[in-house]
A and B are shown apart, each in its own frame.
Chain A
Amino acid sequence: MRLDVAFAILFGGAAAAASSTPFWLRAPAPAIVESRTEQASLTFAPAVPLPLHRKKAKRVVVDIEVKEIVAPIAGDTTYTFWTFGGHVPGPFIRVRQGDTVELHLKNAPENRMPHNIDLHAVTGPGGGAPRTFTAPGHQTEFTFEALRAGLFVYHCAAAPVGMHIANGMYGLILVEPPEGLPPVDREFYVMQGDFYTTGGYHAKGLQSFDMQKAIDEKPTYVLFNGAEGSLTGANALHAKVGDKIRIFVGNGGPNLVSSFHVIGEIFDRVYREGGTAIDTNVQTTLIPAGGAAIVEFTARVPGDYAMVDHSIFRAFNKGAVGTLVVDGPPSPDLYSTETKTTPYAGDGAQAAVAPRGDDRMAAGARVFASTCAACHQAQGQGVPHVFPPLAGSDFLMADKQRSIDIVLGGLQGHVVVRGDAYESAMPTQGHLTDDEIADVLTYVRGSLNKGDAVSADEVGKRRAAAHTVTVR
């Protein structure tokens, strides 16, 4: 018996008597000659290992090295991540129901913390955590049988567990049913997590874990695949029209529940919470912290699709957004290929339905109808003693520049039109474009009076000095 083990037992140490040889001193794994054993091929997000297509259960060896690293979490912000395999999330593990999984957990000698792994695919105490508790510079070996099919989260469970998860120690293990999953064209691996940094969102430089924010469940970041931008821009996911797409979605937490949604898609099928119950035609699926779901849909219309946590401030203000780009021919029957826009004046006004043509007078008539006629009346006749007439208006025609200023800046004061006095005020119409003001004044001056046209240039020159015209 090794003396240190003897010591641990004699003195009440309950540290698991797991393999304690530093892994860098171990002989390389012997070549696998036994066909019933195979090395698992692991992938990092967003990649997924190929389907197994295996008729029989096997012994599958999984090697994972824990690494504590400093890496970007967003833009110019870095964070000390604790990782399975140097990535957040950790590697995707794909095994078959009935497989015996031989897991080797290696804690890199440069690490400062002890770590372990709790796989939710395990049936037994701690999900393997007590058997894999590993000091830096050591490795442990743990074997379990994958009894149940499903998509499961794994994570570090060393104390303080929340900090290990908040620092990125989670990933997914898929236990395929014996017959495998139905074939699809593309599979992706996406995992959400919430992060708590001492500085605010996008505060630059190396950020530390903020314990109080974590306890308060107020994350600085909510992210897919461990960093802002890990699934957008050059890192976006890609598919083609007609592809059947399957996304393995996990949620490491540590705190938040995800309302996972792909904007513009309806999930054909959702393996609810990663189990075997299948829901169909789902818009948004709830993924618990420490849970997962498999979502499937068919890409039918080309374009960009945003993946979000539909607790939408997390997408807009904390980073929880990814992009799926679908390439291919348009399907105008399913989704319009053009945008038609026309002015809309709101209820009660005559809608201006036609786009503005070259005819400034006609365009001016439409602006008049939607903007001016409510007060000045349809023919510009006004309302006696309330709204002055624009038709045959001596006041209007007396000063062309003043008429432009009135539309731009409004009018107040004592106005006499065709011998009648008016005391009301006119609000500014400066929201109209130079063109629209030129149009409407050309119409009012040329059609309701006998004057010349107004150009957009003339309006533009007055706009900079726009003010309310006051008449005394």
Chain B
Amino acid sequence: MKALLRNVALLALAGVASTSGAEARETSTVLVGAGPYKPLFPASPSQTEVHVDAFRLDKTPVTNGQFLAFVSAHPAWRRDRVAGALAEPGYLSRWAAPDALGANAPVDAPVVDVSWFSARAYCAARGMRLPTEAEWERAAAASRDRADGSSDPAWRAELLALYSRPMPARLPDVGTSAPNFWGVYDLHGVVWEWVEDFSAAAAAMTSPSAQLRFCGAGAAGASDATDFPAFQRVALRSSLHASYALHDLGLRCAGSAR
């Protein structure tokens, strides 16, 4: 069954490759080594670390050009054809047309205004998948020179400054920031990114009475009340629904290490 799925995925990938056209740049992936991930909201007080297996992750966020190639190969994901349940009306709204990018969506800038469903479909077409929250956070915990930058206050302050900047009128091209320890670009401060299990963030932040924790209660149960960038990511994820398409939310894909 797994082999069959992989074959289907490979076929889908081939489909993308054959129709992607000249504008879609190659996406290369890098290996993120196995190791621990410290969730902001541990599932239980004793489980402060989660083991993450090695996995492959796109070096850069998916670009407008790459997503246009996908939409061209899979017209069901055009914004004028997508089912409303799979993507809200803001889906790909910065593009000039359902099949054209235009000035507000540079070909090498990260694609945004994509729903979780469409992000999953894109990765599946490449024979890949969305990273899990643990995988994404494991990759993003790295500073430029360490696999875990969390003990470096300067690095955290830099992230907080990045996160504090308002969204620029034009998103920068992918891969223009410095790579981190794993060789991954643009994880912080460019766009937010979908993860496979984004809705777990809301669950993690939910109190026993099924209310999202707000105000001072937001810190209750958190493993590190000073990791403000992590709070911001969890808050953003917990505000999402799977059909949402935000101006500041894109994706990158992940796959198994082999």
**Interface of A with B (CB < 8 Å)?**
2-5, 7-8, 11-16, 20-22, 25, 68-70, 80, 109-114, 116, 118, 125-126, 129-130, 133-138, 157-161, 163, 167, 198, 208-212, 215
Is there contact, CB below 8 Å, between A198 and B239? no
B206 touches A68 (CB 8 A): no
CA–CA, A409 and B175, complex, Å? 73
CB–CB A114/B235 < 8 A: yes
Nearest-neighbor residue (CB-CB) of A24 within chain B: B90
CA distance A46 to B236 in the complex (A): 33
What residues of chain A lie closer than 8 Å to B132, measured between beta carbons? none
Q: Is the CB of A14 within 8 A of B212?
A: yes
Number of interface residues of B (CB under 8 A): 51
- Once the chains bind, are B89 and A25 in contact (CB under 8 Å)? yes
Known: A113-B236, A208-B164. A133 touches B212 (CB 8 A): yes
Is A69 within 8 A of B210, CB to CB?
no
Not counting A135-B241, A158-B214, a sample of 16 additional A-B residue pairs whose C-beta atoms are within 8 angstroms of each other reads A2-B85, A3-B86, A3-B242, A3-B243, A8-B241, A8-B242, A13-B202, A14-B206, A14-B210, A15-B240, A70-B166, A125-B209, A133-B214, A137-B245, A159-B235, A211-B160
Q: Which residue of A lies closest to B215 (CB)?
A: A157
How many interface contacts (CB-CB < 8 Å) are there between A and B?
165
**What's the nearest-Cβ distance from chain B to residue A290, in Å?**
9
CA distance A137 to B236 in the complex (A): 12
Are A16 and B212 neighbours in the complex by a CB distance under 8 Å?
Answer: yes
CB within 8 Å for A112 and B163 given contacts A22-B89, A130-B214? yes
Given known contacts A14-B206, A135-B239, A160 and B231 CB-to-CB distance under 8 angstroms: yes
**A109 with B89, Cβ < 8 A, contacts A14-B210, A198-B157 known:** no
| Cβ B228 vs Cβ A160 within 8 A | yes
> Within the complex, what minimum Cβ distance (angstroms) separates A73 from chain B?
13
A158 to B153, CA, bound (A): 23
Find the B residue at minimum CB distance from A208: B161
- Once the chains are docked, how many angstroms separate the CA of A125 from the CA of B243? 27
Q: Is the CB of A110 within 8 A of B85?
A: no
Contact: A215 with B231, CB < 8 Å? Answer: no
Q: A112-B192, A157-B214, A215-B226 are in contact. Are A20 and B239 (CB under 8 A)?
A: no
Q: Chain B residues near A160: list those with CB within 8 A.
A: 218-219, 228, 231-232, 235
The CB with the most chain B CB atoms within 10 A, among A80, A110, A161, is that of: A161
User: Is there contact, CB below 8 Å, between A14 and B202?
Assistant: yes
When C-beta atoms are compared, the residue in chain B nearest to A3 turns out to be B85
Contact indicator A136/B157 (Cβ below 8 Å):
no
Chain B residues closer than 8 Å to A159, beta-carbon distance: 205, 213-214, 218-219, 231-232, 234-235
A15's partner among B164, B197, B199, B216 (CB-CB below 8 A) is B199
Q: A14 to chain B: which residues have CB within 8 Å?
A: 202-203, 206, 210-212
B11 located at the interface, meaning its Cβ lies under 8 Å from any Cβ of chain A in the complex: no
Whether A15 lies near B214 (C-beta < 8 A) is no
* Interface-central residue, A16, A20, A126, A135, by most chain B CB under 10 Å: A135
Pairs A–B under 8 Å by Cβ, sample size 20: A3-B86, A3-B243, A8-B202, A12-B200, A13-B241, A14-B211, A15-B240, A68-B167, A110-B166, A112-B163, A113-B232, A129-B214, A135-B246, A138-B244, A159-B213, A160-B219, A160-B231, A163-B232, A212-B153, A215-B226
Give bound CA distance, A135 to B235, whole Å.
Answer: 9
Write the B184-199 contact mask toward A (1 if CB under 8 angstroms, else 0). 0000000010000101
Separation in Å of the A162 CB from the closest CB of chain B?
8
Are B199 and A110 in contact (CB-based, < 8 A)?
A: no
A116 to B238, CA, bound (A): 12
Interface residue ranges of B67-97 to A (CB < 8 Å): 85-86, 88-90
- Chain A contacts for B246, CB-based, 8 A: 109, 135-137
A4-B243 contact given A110-B167, A113-B236, CB 8 Å threshold: yes
Tell me if B25 is interfacial: C-beta within 8 Å of chain A: no
8 tightest A-B CB contacts, nearest first: A13-B199, A114-B239, A3-B85, A159-B218, A4-B243, A129-B214, A208-B161, A157-B214
A16 to B218 Cα, complex, angstroms: 16
Q: Of A4, A22, A69, which is within 8 A of B166 by CB?
A: A69
Cβ of A253 to closest chain B Cβ, rounded Å: 12
Q: Mark B243-255 against chain A: 1 for CB-CB distance below 8 A, else 0.
A: 1111110000000
Q: Which residue of A lies closest to B206 (CB)?
A: A14
C-alpha gap A113/B161 in the complex (Å)? 14
Q: CA separation between A130 and B228, bound complex, in Å?
A: 20
Residues of B contacting A116 with CB < 8 Å? 214
- The residues in B between 125 and 177 inclusive whose CB is less than 8 angstroms from any CB of A are 153, 156-157, 160-161, 163-167
Minimum distance in angstroms from B93 CB to a CB of chain A: 9
Pairwise interchain contact A20-B247, C-beta atoms closer than 8 A = no
Given A8-B199, A112-B163, A135-B244: A15 and B226 interface contact (C-beta under 8 Å): no
- Chain B residue, CB-CB nearest to A6: B85
A116 to B206, CA, bound (A): 16
Check A12–B234 contact: CB distance below 8 A: no
- By CB atoms of chain A within 10 A, which of B86, B88, B89 has the most? B88
Please state if B239 and A11 are interface contacts (CB–CB under 8 Å).
Answer: no
Inter-subunit contact B214/A12 (CB<8 Å): no
Best-surrounded residue of A15, A20, A167 (most CB of chain B within 10 A):
A15
Least Cβ–Cβ distance between B92 and chain A, in angstroms: 13
Q: How far is the CA of A8 from the CA of B210 in the complex (A)?
A: 13
A6 shortest CB reach to chain B, Å:
9
- Do B215 and A118 touch (CB < 8 A)? yes
Cβ–Cβ < 8 Å partners of A2 in chain B = 85, 243
Q: By the criterion CB–CB under 8 Å, are B214 and A161 in contact?
A: yes
Alpha-carbon distance between A15 and B244 when the two chains are bound, in angstroms: 13
- Give complex CA distance A208, B226 in Å: 16
With A2-B85, A112-B163, A209-B160 already in contact, the answer to whether A7 and B199 are too (CB < 8 A) is yes
Residues B234 and A15 in contact, CB atoms below 8 Å apart: no
Q: Which residues of A contact B167 (CB under 8 A)?
A: 68, 110-112
| Closest residue of A by beta carbon distance from B87 | A4
Whether A80 lies near B213 (C-beta < 8 A) is no
Residue pair A13, B161 in contact (C-beta under 8 Å)? no
Asked if residues A7 and B242 are in contact (CB atoms below 8 Å), the reply is yes
Flag if A4 contacts B160 (CB, 8 Å): no
